[in-house]
Amino acid sequence: MEQPQSDSYQGQSGGDVSSHDPMEPQAAREHKTFLLTSLAGLLFLIAIPFLVGEYYVSLASEILIFAILTSGVNLLLGYTGLVSLGHAAFMGVGAYATAIGSSLLGYPVWFVMLASITVSLVIAYGIGLLSVRTKGVQFLLITLAFGQMFHAIAEKTRYTGGDDGMTNIPRIDLSLIGLDADHDRVFYFFVLVCFVIALALLRLVVDSPFGRVLVGIRENEKRMLALGYSTFPYKALAFGISGMLAGLAGSLWVQHSFFVNPHIMTWQMSGEALLMVIIGGSKAFFGPLLGAAFYVLAKDFLSDITEAYLMFFGLLFVLVVAFFHGGIAGFIARIFNRTGGPAGKDDQ
């Protein structure tokens, strides 16, 4: 059987560069490039709190939280070819489960975080079992319907505070290691650790035979069926893993903002997550991080200079889609390819 390849999802910053040893296997070059890119990116993320003020540290935490959410969305969109408009619901599940468990029930935050992630995984997998039986517009609409259902539950349930939401949600207690997560810099590093763990697990998933099957489903599901694969359980599990990452993002978000209300579960939030993935590059492993950074920073900058920032942001989005083939990650890859740097294959 010809295995479906996921190479186009692995580089994002690496490529087939003539300066490399032609005898070196391409997969090994791409793996080396990925590791070097990851290390450089991690060092930069570690340095951020020492280079900027507290406001931008808080903004960086927001970027990483949204990057976790969009990385999960990208597992569906970029790897499996499924477009969901309901993933904000799983982010809301993680947020509300953390808020209720810690603020109302008094459980330790670390415990409610684990519970929130587990609940998000179970709910997402259950919804995936129902949703992935449909395709195309039908899939998009059924995920939208489930998302709106959870939004309505959060809005009408008194334990969630209704439209007013919930406040005074505590952050995780890091006193055992001598740290106070109420300080934004400390909390940033906690979010960074969660981000690294989430992406490391996601990388294991996409590099596994399971991940290659997902790429095969995206490329040609009928062919995968003809080869003997039952694509249904693969898509359902991918949906569950994606929802789990959204739940983690929600749990971190509610600790970041100390507040949650039903807006976090709207279809607009799901749409924003899709925009981040598309802007960053849906066929790039680090595309969601780049898209989240672009979205959060651009929105923050434009909102400071005009009340009509959404109009200008929409224009920016159109320009990125029109001229940045493959998103920001694809643009960066082509620049490196032209200059002979350590770029990866053009994903598109």
Residue 122, amino acid: V
Task: Over range 322-332, report the average pLDDT.
Answer: 79
Most confident residue range from 288-302, 318-332, 334-348: 288-302
Provide Rg for the chain, Cα atoms: 20
pLDDT at 34: 82
**HSE-up of 87 (CA within 13 Å, CB side)?**
34
The more confident residue out of 101 and 11 is: 101
Flag whether pLDDT at 44 surpasses 90.
Answer: yes
Place 146 in a pLDDT band, splitting at 50, 70 and 90. very high
pLDDT at 341: 53
Q: Which domains does the chain have, with CATH numbers?
A: 25-339 (1.10.3470)
Residue 28, amino acid: A
Return the DSSP state at 182: T
Task: Over range 207-232, report the average pLDDT.
Answer: 91
Task: Return the number of other C-beta atoms located less than 10 Å from residue 238's C-beta.
Answer: 27
Q: What is the pTM of this model?
A: 0.86
Q: What is the pLDDT of residues 193-204, one digit of tens each?
A: 999 999 999 999
Task: Over range 278-301, report the average pLDDT.
Answer: 88
Q: What is the largest CA-CA distance in the chain?
A: 65
Q: What is the pLDDT of residues 87-102, one digit of tens each?
A: 999 999 999 999 999 9
What three-state secondary structure class fits 336?
Answer: helix
Whole-angstrom distance, CA of residue 200 vs CA of residue 333: 22
Instruction: Give me the numbers of helices (H) and strands (E) for the chain, helices first please.
Output: 12, 2
Q: Any idea which of 102-106, 173-177, 180-184, 305-309 has the lowest mean pLDDT?
A: 305-309
pLDDT at 251: 96
Q: What is the pLDDT of residues 24-33, one digit of tens each?
A: 577 777 778 8
Query: Looking up tokens 């490399």, which residue turns up?
Result: 20
